[in-house]
Amino acid sequence: MPKIDELEATARRALHIFYVLDTSGSMTGTPVATLNRAMEETVEVLRKQAKSNADAELKIAVLEFNTGARWIQPNGPENMEDFIWEDLSAGGLTDVGAALSELDSKLSRKAFLNSMTGAYLPIIIFMSDGYATDNYQKALDEIRQNKWFARSTKIGFALGENPDMKMISEVVGNSEAVVRTQDLDLFARLIKFASVTASMMCSTSRTSNQDVTGADILKEAIDQGSAPESIVENVPVDVPESSADEKDSASDGWDADDWE
């Protein structure tokens, strides 16, 4: 018999969590400080979980946007088990279009999604507290054609007094998956609960064969955080049918070469 000590750990599919975070000038002061502490705590919990998660290998990448957009991990998503949060600082514009273009360019097998062991559909957590300062519509139209974006689980957070609910809902593609709050402590709790719930999606027993959506995850986070349901504000958005979906179903998605 082979030596038990020589066997390798069971192969796990990657589960990528992307945080797309607004660090524009309006986040200066308490908001960005709260964001940093919330992310630090979130990462701490996720890191502990990743060590015993046999269902998925958690990977994390953080994209901040202000004047332009910048990956904190330019070489691609890092293993959650080794990940350390680096504090972000706020300042500059709100270039949502730049963030979406950057995200679009990396949501590809040739870029950030190149796991040898296969992958689950990614999770994207998007947070903003204001209105876009660039023309994001073109970038949004383009990223909606990206299969990974179209099929990812997306959750939105709208912070502060005057967030652009329409823009955030359009990015997330489902207004029921967007939380709006001015309460920073509540935001900190909810982003943690939502991140943890999303990361355990593949490990949780189901009640039905239906897919788990961003809205389901938020609902659970809201239950756990004892937050009022009313913080999910319903802004109807018109999400065009993604041609990415059609391509996917035509090829059944079996062929790895279909995805780029």
Q: Closest distance between another protein and the C-beta of residue 91, in Å?
A: 32
Cα Rg, the chain, nearest whole Å:
18
Decide whether 3 or 30 has the Cβ nearer to another protein.
Answer: 3
18: Cβ contacts below 8 Å, ≥ 6 apart: 60, 61, 62, 63, 77, 103, 122, 123, 124, 125, 152
Decide whether 3 or 75 has the Cβ nearer to another protein.
Answer: 3
Decide whether 78 or 248 has the Cβ nearer to another protein.
Answer: 248
Decide whether 168 or 198 has the Cβ nearer to another protein.
Answer: 198
Q: Closest distance between another protein and the C-beta of residue 258, in Å?
A: 9
Q: Closest distance between another protein and the C-beta of residue 179, in Å?
A: 16
- Pick the closest to residue 188 from 67, 35, 43 (CA basis): 35
- Pick the closest to residue 129 from 184, 88, 86 (CA basis): 184
Site of interaction with another protein (CB under 8 A): 1-11, 13, 45, 51-55, 109, 113, 115-121, 147-148, 151, 192-193, 196, 200, 202-209, 211, 219-220, 223-226, 248-249, 252-254, 256, 259
The neighbour count for residue 42, using CB atoms within 10 Å, is 23
Q: Which amino acid type is present at position 62?
A: V
Q: Closest distance between another protein and the C-beta of residue 41, in Å?
A: 10
Q: Closest distance between another protein and the C-beta of residue 10, in Å?
A: 4
How far apart CA 100 and CA 93 sit, in angstroms, is: 15
How far apart CA 240 and CA 173 sit, in angstroms, is: 9
Name the residue with tokens 């009022």.
228
Decide whether 7 or 161 has the Cβ nearer to another protein.
Answer: 7
Quick check: 245 and 150 in contact, CB under 8 A? yes
Q: Closest distance between another protein and the C-beta of residue 185, in Å?
A: 13
Decide whether 131 or 259 has the Cβ nearer to another protein.
Answer: 259
